[in-house]
Amino acid sequence: MKKGKVVAIVPAAGLGKRFGEEKNKPFYPLMDKPLIVWALEKLQESNEITEIIPVLKEEDLILCGAIAEKYNITKVKRIVPGGQERQDSVYNGIKMLDDNTSIVVIHDGARPFIDMDLIKRIVDGLKGYDGAIAAVPVKDTIKEVRRQQSAVSSQQSGENIIVEKTLNRNILWAIQTPQVFPFDKIKEAYEKAITDKYYATDDAALIERYGGTVKIVMGSYRNIKITTPEDIKIAEAILSHEP
């Protein structure tokens, strides 16, 4: 792999419907600072990261720039408007990169507890692979289901959710970010996916779809994603118990 810039793309342009449409999730306060700042500060501190590109809704670009300046996130050189889906937003970030980029690190702006050790381990873990992603073994029993329409009464219909099978928990992992890729591999996978109109729920799935090999790097159960207002309370509890 050629040596060049390691660029972190931080998607944070989602509608945040589960968080509450009246709340602007990237800038919602977690303890004493906006949610997105927690991730940006760790990426700023990391020796592995050359540049950070946040991706936000068009109307949030100026505010994000002001926040990056306030918190001295000097690796933020540009902020990119997001797209309709998360995949479109990440692709907007990828399109801003040039051939001086060697590695792309993709990390959700709603995961505040990324740490520098994980960033280093996952960038180092990429060598020889088409991708490296943070993940943890699942703790819960996972069941595959099917949805079955049924008439509840003559006036009302409903949907039953029926168990198909119980999956083997020993081979299941819960996937997190950061996810790290060689620039040329992730750019090619995204371009193919756009052509094929294929959308996935994470970036590594695009590499997998087009034949790439993705390595798991042990993440952390602490590396939660803030999806609902209740998650903010969990994050505050985590922070309140830290020295």
Would you say 104 and 97 are in contact if contact means Cβ atoms under 8 Å apart?
A: yes
Number of domains comprising the chain: 1
The predicted structure's pLDDT at residue 168: 96
What is the band of 154 on the pLDDT scale with cuts at 50, 70, 90? very low
| Residue 129, pLDDT above cutoff 60 | yes
The predicted structure's pLDDT at residue 149: 76
pLDDT over 90 percentage in the chain: 84
Q: What is the C-alpha separation between 188 and 122, in angstroms, rounded? A: 21
Q: What is the C-alpha separation between 59 and 61, in angstroms, rounded? A: 6
Q: What is the C-alpha separation between 114 and 134, in angstroms, rounded? A: 10
Is pTM beyond 0.85? Reply is: yes
The predicted structure's pLDDT at residue 72: 98
The predicted structure's pLDDT at residue 23: 61
| Residue 27, pLDDT above cutoff 70 | yes
Beta-carbon neighbour count of residue 184 at 10 Å? 15
Phi and psi based region of residue 31 (left: phi greater than 0; alpha: psi -120 to 50; beta: remaining): left
pLDDT over 70 percentage in the chain: 91
Name beta bridge partners: 74: none
Burial degree of 186 (CB within 10 A; 0-12, 13-18, 19+) = buried
Q: Tokens at residue 150, please? A: 């049924």
DSSP labels, 169-214:
GGG-EEEEEEEEEEHHHHHHHHHHHHHHT---SSSHHHHHHTT--E
Q: What's the whole-number average pLDDT of the chain?
A: 92
Of 18-27, 152-161, 188-197, which gets the smallest average pLDDT?
152-161
Amino acid at 39: A
pLDDT in tens, 48-85: 999 999 999 999 999 999 999 999 999 999 999 999 99
CATH number for the domain that contains residue 127: 3.90.550.10
Q: What is the C-alpha separation between 45 and 23, in angstroms, rounded? A: 28
The residue range of the domain holding 218 is 5-240
Using only the alpha carbons of the chain, give its radius of gyration.
Answer: 19
DSSP collapsed to 3 states, 49-81: CCEEEEEECHHHHHHHHHHHHHCCCCCECCCEE
Name beta bridge partners: 219: none
Q: Tokens at residue 157, please? A: 């219909």
pLDDT in tens, 79-99: 999 999 999 999 999 999 999
pLDDT in tens, 200-217: 999 999 999 999 999 999
Of 24-38, 99-113, 143-157, 225-239, which gets the smallest average pLDDT?
143-157
Burial degree of 138 (CB within 10 A; 0-12, 13-18, 19+) = middle
What is the band of 14 on the pLDDT scale with cuts at 50, 70, 90? confident
The predicted structure's pLDDT at residue 152: 58
The predicted structure's pLDDT at residue 22: 55
What is the band of 102 on the pLDDT scale with cuts at 50, 70, 90? very high
